[in-house]
Amino acid sequence: MVQNDGDGRSPLRLILLFLVVIVVPLALGLYLAPRIVPTPKIGVIRLNYEISNATAFEFREQLLYARNDPAIQAVVIVINSPGGTASDSE
């Protein structure tokens, strides 16, 4: 006959139980969270040139692209321009 010495909880069994109950779900949660929870995207439009008819058209196209993309939640416009003529910059 086999004798049971104590409550039957060996240290190895407790360590395995800890790994299965705590560590594995925590690791899976950390791995899967970025893939499950969508993160909003922020579009960045840079205007680093003189404003003219051609560059105004390009800038407008970039704004329309950002507006029509459902993943983009916000747009940051970075302007580093020497300016342009008054009629082109309107």
Q: Tell me: the pLDDT tens digits for 23-74?
A: 888 999 888 888 887 778 899 999 888 878 888 888 899 999 999 998 899 9
What is 20-61 written as a DSSP string?
A: IIIIHHHHHHHHHHHHHS---EEEEEEE-S-B-HHHHHHHHH
| Side-chain half-sphere exposure of 39, counting CA atoms within 13 A | 6
Contact indicator for 34, 3 with CB cutoff of 8 Å: no
- At residue 49, the pLDDT reads 83
- At residue 37, the pLDDT reads 78
The gap between the terminal CA atoms of the chain, to the nearest Å, is 95
